[in-house]
Amino acid sequence: MQRPCLDFEPSALLQLEESFVLNRSASAFSKDDSWKLEEWIEGDCCSWDGVECVGNTGHVIGLDLSSSFLYGYIDSNSSLFQLHHLTRLNLSDNDFYGSEIPSAIGNLSMLSQLDLSNSVFSELRNPNLKSLAERLVNLEHLDLDGVIASSVVPRSLASMSSLTYLSLRSCELHGEFPNEVFQLPHFPLISLQ
């Protein structure tokens, strides 16, 4: 039996939704016609579009906001980071207005899948990536396509021992890719361009 989501999680999701403007030009692709972020108003949040819950507890474990026309700034104070049980987070194809990738993503320690691709984040800097790599120890799938990372020495990726998929297309990486990444226990599928 599916338990309804917990009290604080719908509030966190509604605060998150209210922190953005829905702008049709913020996404290159769009969800199908049934996608209704605007209908995140009432009822069990486990039934809202893009939200996935675990049945026996009602905790939100998945959030897919890809191509949702989200436009605005996201920072470490975002209510998103109150969803501590997230295992999957997809924020791809939105416009976060040059926000830095929030360090608070590292607080979502249960994440196994993270997709931040093509979402107009500012340049990813080495300390941010190092912090994420050290804190997201369960991360298996990481997609940073289109996130400029030219100043990053991705050696810190070698500490992500659970990683099985890594995509860094159009990141403007320079220099030699560190051999340590190829020695990860679950040698990741790596997509570079």
Per the confidence metrics, is the pTM higher than 0.95? no
Tokens of 107: 């607080």
In a domain, 131, yes or no: yes
Helix, strand or coil for residue 102? coil
- Whichever domain contains 134, its CATH number is 3.80.10.10
Percent of the chain scored above 90 by pLDDT?
Answer: 33
Per the model's pLDDT, the better-predicted residue between 53 and 130 turns out to be 53
Task: Specify the amino acid at residue 133.
Answer: A
In a domain, 1, yes or no: no
CB atoms within 10 A of CB 91: 23
Model confidence at 34, in pLDDT bands (50, 70, 90)?
A: very low
In a domain, 3, yes or no: no
- Total structural domains in the chain? 1
Tell whether the model's pLDDT for residue 51 goes beyond 70: yes
By residue range, what is the domain housing residue 123? 8-191
Question: Which stretch of 3-17, 34-48, 51-65, 92-106 has the lowest confidence by average pLDDT?
Answer: 34-48
- List Cβ neighbours of 127 (8 Å cut-off, separation of 6 or more): none
Tell whether the model's pLDDT for residue 36 goes beyond 60: no
Mean residue pLDDT of the chain comes to 84
In a domain, 115, yes or no: yes
Q: Which residue is listed with tokens 């890594």?
A: 166
> What digits encode the pLDDT tens for the residues 130-182?
888 889 999 999 999 988 887 666 777 888 889 899 898 888 887 777 788 87
Buried b (16+ CB within 10 A) or exposed e, 120-155: ebebbeeebbbbbbebbebbbbbbbbbbebeebbbb
**Burial grade of 189 (CB within 10 A; 0-12, 13-18, 19 or more):** exposed
In a domain, 52, yes or no: yes
Model confidence at 60, in pLDDT bands (50, 70, 90)?
A: very high
pLDDT of residue 33: 46
User: CA-CA distance, 185 to 2, in Å (whole number)?
Assistant: 36
Tokens of 110: 């249960």
Q: CB–CB of 157/166 below 8 Å? A: yes
> What digits encode the pLDDT tens for the residues 74-88?
989 999 999 999 999
In a domain, 2, yes or no: no
In a domain, 130, yes or no: yes
In a domain, 153, yes or no: yes
pLDDT of residue 1: 53
